[in-house]
Chains A and B, each alone.
Chain A
């Protein structure tokens, strides 16, 4: 079973739409959780950390359900600049290394 699983998409949505991405992780020892975004051929960049209580940063809302080992990201009022691949990331291990999902591709259409 994969460490982190995401729906690869692609998601093609019009500007202004709300879109949700889901992610599941297999190892209950996973300790912290993040959403990164990756533009084509670029490095991953932190979008937001994900906390157990859920957290919001502007148009972005992240949720974590430890019991179900499930993470979500909601993007409201999509902008053209939101077009990217969204990476679900979990963190565990003695070296605190990251385990990445394959990413979900989002294209926001004018």
Chain B
């Protein structure tokens, strides 16, 4: 069964450093998402991406964040200058079609720890 993959599974970084989280969505999917989950809290939407541009972003997704689909397979989230409060699990998700009823499939996540 096709699945979303993410690398790395764990990332430890120093405050102020840049990190890039990588995702390979399911191959025929067209819509891509990043979510984050701070430990013990709910999953929160960061950004949606379609047709090589951002569709919508949340208040969390400020100028320190950017997304890119550099080739036909990868979908990346970059945090330019990490803060302690960026420590969280980051999930990538993808969806095949625009239909609102279509579900999103989540990757296993990257656990980011900012020291």
CA A102 to CA B41, docked complex, whole Å? 6
CA distance A21 to B28 in the complex (A): 34
Q: Residue A46 at the B interface, CB < 8 A?
A: yes
The verdict on A10 contacting chain B, using a C-beta distance below 8 Å, is no
Residue contact A96 to B48, C-beta cutoff 8 Å: yes
Query: Any chain A CB within 8 A of the CB of B75?
Result: no
If A34-B103, A93-B56 touch, whether A101 touches B50 (CB-CB below 8 Å) is: no
| A94–B50 alpha-carbon span in the complex (Å) | 11
How many of chain B's residues have a CB under 8 angstroms from any CB in A?
A: 32
B101 near A49: Cβ-Cβ < 8 Å: yes
In whole Å, how far is B58's beta carbon from the nearest beta carbon of chain A?
8
Any A CB within 8 A of the CB of B25? no
Q: List 23 A-B contacts (CB under 8 A).
A: A32-B101, A41-B89, A41-B111, A43-B91, A43-B109, A45-B106, A46-B103, A46-B105, A49-B101, A49-B103, A87-B42, A95-B31, A95-B33, A95-B47, A96-B95, A96-B98, A97-B45, A97-B48, A97-B58, A98-B33, A98-B93, A101-B42, A102-B41
Query: Which of chain A's residues have a CB closer than 8 A to the CB of B103?
Result: 34, 46, 49
